[in-house]
Amino acid sequence: MTHQSETVHYAVSVVGKDRPGIVAAITEGLFNLGCNIADSSCTMLAGEFAMILIVSLKKPFSKARLIEELKPVCDRIGMSLGVRTLHPDEIARQESDGEICMISVYGADQPGIVYRVTRELAARSVNITDLNTKLIGTEEEPVYVLMLEVALPDGVTAEAVEQTLVALKKELDVEIGVRVITPVAF
């Protein structure tokens, strides 16, 4: 671990058709640069594999150098590449004292489910920390599932959040449940 002031951070995103070897190819490129992978999340969405990585490198280092190394790799395996330089203020983890909740929303597929739900949450300063959606069911009866992990503002209860979503639940005719999943440290 090197001191933060001696490192530069980038957000790297890589997306493309899934197949074995993507992570190995990308991380080989990063390894060759002497790059650290800090937080990352990689998942398969439909047939696409999507990687988001926060990486750090010892200064001096340029975004151009990172792209120069990764672009040929991405081209070879048919992936798109995005790189953004992070400001030191962006790297600090946001900690909340509020409850962590899982919000599950599911019902007949219709336009606007994600927008309508997240608009209500945003209006109450509920911070989404993770979001997953999936289209399930049959072609005749498509069902939409939206799962959100959220951090509530300090002092706001899960019941209060559930209450604010009652009207929306009726209007969209979907199920909405809120439950506390705040981790317990043993």
Residue 163 is a binding residue for another protein (CB under 8 A): no
Residue 115 is a binding residue for another protein (CB under 8 A): no
Residue 130 is a binding residue for another protein (CB under 8 A): yes
CB atoms within 10 A of CB 37: 14
The span of 20-28, 68-76, 129-137, 150-158 binding another protein (CB under 8 A) equals 129-137
Which residues make Cβ contacts (< 8 Å) with residue 54, sequence separation at least 6? 9, 10, 11, 12, 37, 38, 39, 40, 86, 91
**What span, in angstroms and rounded, lies between the C-alpha atoms of 37 and 57?**
9
Cβ 12 to another protein shortest distance, Å: 19
Cβ 183 to another protein shortest distance, Å: 4
Q: Which of residues 44-63 bind another protein (CB under 8 A)?
A: 44, 46-47
Chosen residue from 59, 84, 119, 134 binding another protein by CB under 8 A? 134
Q: What residue type is assigned to position 92 of the chain?
A: A
- Asked if 7 and 56 touch (Cβ cutoff 8 Å), the reply is yes
Our CB check for another protein shows the closer of 81 and 117 to be 117
Between the alpha carbon of residue 119 and those of residues 112, 123, 156, the distances in Å are 10, 6, 17
Q: Which of residues 15-44 bind another protein (CB under 8 A)?
A: 41, 44
Chosen residue from 1, 92, 123, 184 binding another protein by CB under 8 A? 184
Token pair of 16, please? Answer: 């493309």
Residue 92 is a binding residue for another protein (CB under 8 A): no
**What span, in angstroms and rounded, lies between the C-alpha atoms of 162 and 148?**
13
Residues that bind another protein (CB under 8 A): 41, 44, 46-47, 100, 102, 130, 132, 134, 136, 145, 147, 149, 181-186
